[in-house]
Chains A and B, each alone.
Chain A
Amino acid sequence: MNWTTTFLTQHVGWIAPEMPDKPIGDYIGGLVHHSPLDKVAVWQIADKHWQHFAITALEENLRWVAGWAEQADEQFIVNACFEKHGVYIVLRTLINGTKLELPTQATVYPAANRSERHTQDMFGIKFIGHPDNRRWTRHQAWDKHQYPLRKDFPVQGNPADITPPDMNYDFVKGYGAGVYEIPVGPVHAGIIEPGHFRFLAVGELILNLEERLGYVHKGIEKIAEGRTPESLARLAGRVSGDSTVGHCWAACQAMEQAAGIVVSARANLIRGIVAERERIANHLGDMGAICNDVAFTFAQMQFTRLRELWLRTNASVFGHRLLMDVVIPAGVSRDVSQLSCELLKKDIIQIREELAEIMLAVDLNSSLEDRLYTAGYLSPEIAAAFGTVGYVGRASGQDFDVRRDAAYAPYDQVSFKVALEDQGDIASRFWVRHKEINASLKLIERFIQLLPEGEITTTWKTPAIDSEGLGIVDGFRGEIISYIRFAADNKIARFYPRDPSILNWPALEKLALNNIVPDFPVCNKSLNGSYSGNDL
């Protein structure tokens, strides 16, 4: 029994559960059992209730998680996913080809804003009453009246020889004495991904920040169509390179659900080990980069040194420094020997020791304190309103972690402490990462302890046509959602990965306010959103 039962009982008049031939009573209480998605209820409602549901959901304190659409013949299926207390539901509606409209949820949930604009650009579904009708994912690579994710749009499209720059995007303007604009990007000064930031500033103070992303849109959702599970897993592993294990795992989880495959205990534990290793590697890199952005090079050098040692162990044990393609459908591609386990354990002892030494020096540094404390403040209220996840949410009091609250194997066998801070500043995001590293080190030790003998892969079964899966895992940035629908012959019909960055990016526009422009790089790094994972 969870909140969905009461919710559905109260609203049963207009929220119809999936598969209407089953009596309503079956859904109340046994709802999960009948859903096409394993462990996640699917509620189908009439399109006119779309916004109404969002209002009710907000009253019930549900968090908006993800939104995506798909085309089924002449109809379009629109989905929105919500979460509360670690229980997820998918809201679904069908709209037909003549009137592609839906009342917006973005006025209720700001988190739905960009997602709906993405759906609008990619499918041509109009969200009525949307507070921001500018395009988002579309720049100039395809026409206003072309929609790449529709079935009649060829994957090669009809691009010009040279795609023109996106010149006429209507940025928010500032007026008044001394207000000026700073355009930054898409090509940035460092070794980072491309995106555009538009500042309105007075003196050094940031009055407004607007993000313009979409520069690395690679058509991932489109080129996923028709792939085999193996090929889709490779693609998912490249949605965001730093989170390759997370995305790959989420996609594989979704595909395995659709196919009804149970992964071996050994494979699940190895997945857990590589996922936590990925988290540690990225947190080490981020902590170093945060220090570097406030010119504390000592820490940057130390953290990158630890990261390099960590990656070298990845290469020797798992065959890839960033752990790409270790997670595969129905299992993992690499087994760990007894010898490797010893190496992994030795690694943990060493990093724990060194990290303690470095953190002591970092903690006592007053210049670092001066730059990181109170800078880039994100209030718990705003963090909640945008549904931020991962270290961004956890540094602003959002006590949520998929690994604990919606535990999946192997996390259902262990208990661990979720890092939490409530100061909401850059320092909090720094310390949350440190706490998470320590928790992850313990988790890896535990996973090695639990590692049973057994196979690392299970035999793949071709899923029935139209079977669906929703993968939900906690990547290093937080909750990753991966939706899969199969077509016939083991081919993918729809793949939608929702990177945690999609929920976290809008928070950057808020936390940068009232900071000085020279502090923006460190604000940005403390959030470390993925451009690639956002643009798809």
Chain B
Amino acid sequence: MKTLLSLEHVTMQFGGVVAVNDLSMHVDEGEIIALIGPNGAGKTTAFNCITGVYEPTNGRISFDGSPIIVNHPAGKMKRLYGGLEHDMFANEKVLSPTPDEITKLGIARTFQNIRLFKSMNVFDNVLTAMHLRLKSNVFSSVLRIGYKEERAMRAETEKLLKEQGLWNHRDDKATSLPYGYQRRLEIARALATRPRLLLLDEPAAGMNPQETLELAAFIREIKEKYNLTVLMIEHHMDLVMGISDRVYVLDFGSLIAEGTPEEIQSNQRVIDAYLGVAEDV
């Protein structure tokens, strides 16, 4: 199977704090991968590195076979750097694209604390996410010369909303939706950018077991329908164990285990990380 996303020795350091330490992982095409770990393990930071929100201090991230983000410690960080492999990428060209460029490559994300466009209704939330593919320039867009493109975007939004069961809510304000629907809308909005890789940051946060089950089915469904690869951060073990092909476990910024859900469930280090180790007195 082809590797879609790979992280090599990615380290993210804020001042003296190493939030992600020498993280290497890969996601193959068509997989559902879970990234788990206790609170503060650096999962969201890793996401933010992949999506260009943070510039990693060291390491290389490749998408679809070519490097998209490369960095190595420089300047003041050279002295401060507390991670590993500090000169591994020293001779490579630094790549640090902005988040919108990452999205244009085909990586879309959702947020841990839902971030919808709060002044807009459901329809416009999804429609706005199609702006990145707009070909008309401002003039033809303002003078409505490119009205066909706009019409096509609206049609696609309609299709997407119908598929996601949000069509009946199209005129509602995004923030007035029930919680579960807001999550769903955020995923729909991410899908509107036509990603190949979808990053979900705690999609089941705040959901009850029933809703979580539904979500699992939903994720599997969109994965098949849109030919997606999914990388998600999750705390709900039922969801993680139920749908993921492989699991990566982070603790204190470092990778402590990797494997199938079954392997992870019986891994002593993972259990220790979650439950804490009883110290010999």
Does B associate with A?
no
Residue ranges of A at the interface with B (Cβ–Cβ < 8 Å):
none
Task: List the interface of chain B (C-beta within 8 A of A).
Answer: none
